[in-house]
Amino acid sequence: MDVMYACRCCLRCPPDKNLTTPYTHLGRTEIYADMIKECFDIHLALGGSDSCGICSACVGRLRGASDFKLQVQNSQLLLQEALLVKEESTVKSELADDADEDPVSDALYEVPIKLELDTLDEDETGKVLAAQTQPFG
C-alpha cells in the first residue's frame, strides 16, 4: 500500500475517516486531528484531503487514549478537591482547639502558689487560714 494514501496513524490500512472532519460518537463531537493534538501534543502535518485519513482501528485506540486522559484529569481534580477539604478541616480544627484553650486559667493551675505563713504576724496568719477554709462564692 502506498503510504501517501494510508492511515496517518499506522500507515497499514486505508483510512476510513478524515482527520479534520467533525464526527459524532455517543453524543460527543470528535475531530481526530484535535484529539491527537490534545492527547499526545502531536501536530499532524495535514496535506491534501487524500492524505488526511485515519482507520477505524486507530480511531478506537484514539478514543481509548482520550477517555483515559479525561479519567486521569478528573481523578486528579477530585483528589485535589479532597485534599483541599481535608486541609481546610484540619485548619478549622486547629483554630477551634486554640480557641478552647484559656491561657490565663491554664496558667493559674500551672504556677504553684507558695505562701510563707511564718513571715506573717498572728492576725494576718489567721485571716489567711480562715480564707482558705471558706468555700468560694
Q: How does pLDDT run across 38-50, given as a tens digit for each residue?
A: 999 999 888 765 5
- Kindly state whether residue 53 falls inside one of the protein's structural domains: yes
- Kindly state whether residue 111 falls inside one of the protein's structural domains: yes
Domain count, the chain: 2
Tell me the three-class secondary structure of 67-118, residue by residue.
Answer: HHHHHHHHHHHHHHHHHHHHHHHHHHHHHHHHHHCCHHHHHHHHCCCCCCHH
CATH number for the domain spanning 7: value is: 3.40.1800
Domain membership of residue 121 as a residue range:
104-130
| φ, ψ (nearest 5 deg) of residue 60 | -60, -45
Same structural domain, 15 and 49: yes
What is the pLDDT at residue 65?
98
Same structural domain, 86 and 126: no
What is the pLDDT at residue 3?
87
Same structural domain, 35 and 24: yes
CA–CA dist 98, 100 (Å, integer): 5
Q: Are 59 and 32 in contact (CB under 8 A)?
A: yes
